[in-house]
Amino acid sequence: MKEKLSPFSKLFLIFIFLILYTPIFFLIFYSFNSGGTMYNFESFTLDWYRELFTDYRLLIIVLNTLVVALLSALIATIIGVLGALWIHSFRRRATRNMLMSFNNVLIVSPDVIIGASFLILFTVTGYKLGFYSVLLSHIAFSVPIVVLMVLPKLNEMSSSLVDAARDLGANSWDVLTKVILPYLTPGIMAGFFMALTFSLDDFAVTFFVTGNGFSTLSVEIYSLARRGVSLNINALSTLLFLFTIILVIVYYFIAQRSKSTVMGVRK
């Protein structure tokens, strides 16, 4: 039986969503302003979007950002799933809790500290800052997120599934690929998309480890905003917002499909 929200709860939710979404819609609205400022809306125009698509340097930075986000999310998902399986393999609960505590510390650590740590590490080792330093940093802070998404799913999986598979003659590889990983798919997908979004909007860590000649969108928008607000930033932010919405929709349908598959129900 579904629990109905009280009128106060509905009003509170509407208020919260207004606070969260009003600045975004304000930014989107002025991306179509021919006036060139965010003070007076003169008339509708797509000039800022045309200017955006003719700025090849900015488009390359967008491409860099997407490549880093996709690669780091993919690699972090693989490492995170292996890490979750490794943590789950410990029989002692105290050991698991200790490892999860180490994992959670990295999640709650301030981005400034993580960024400064990586900068010191790369400087001491003589590693050149650029694409790979950003990629490694994004993988590093994404792995704990994936572990956090996958491990609860692993904990709730009944051991009888694995026992049944072994009784039917499955070897360790078959158990992993045909039983465990399909069951973990919702958690794996959640971890991948979380890592992807964390990488896309990260500023603090990237600001420390990006080098000359390489930049990501968050760092570039910060640099552009410091030189003065241009409405092509609004246009770019609008497109990114739409891209994020598409990601959420895709994730929703994948999660629903994975859930149906795990439950043995195909719609």
pLDDT tens digit string along 92-106? 888 888 888 888 888
Q: 0.75 cut: is pTM over it?
A: yes
Walk me through the domains of the chain, giving residue ranges and CATH numbers.
55-265 (1.10.3720.10)
d(CA 235, CA 52): 7
Scanning the structure block, which residue is given the tokens 């979404």?
21
Q: Are 136 and 199 in contact (CB under 8 A)?
A: no
d(CA 156, CA 168): 22
pLDDT digits (tens, 9 = 90+) for 175-233: 888 888 888 888 898 899 889 888 988 888 888 888 777 888 888 888 877 776 678 88
What is residue 91's predicted lDDT score, i.e. its pLDDT? 81
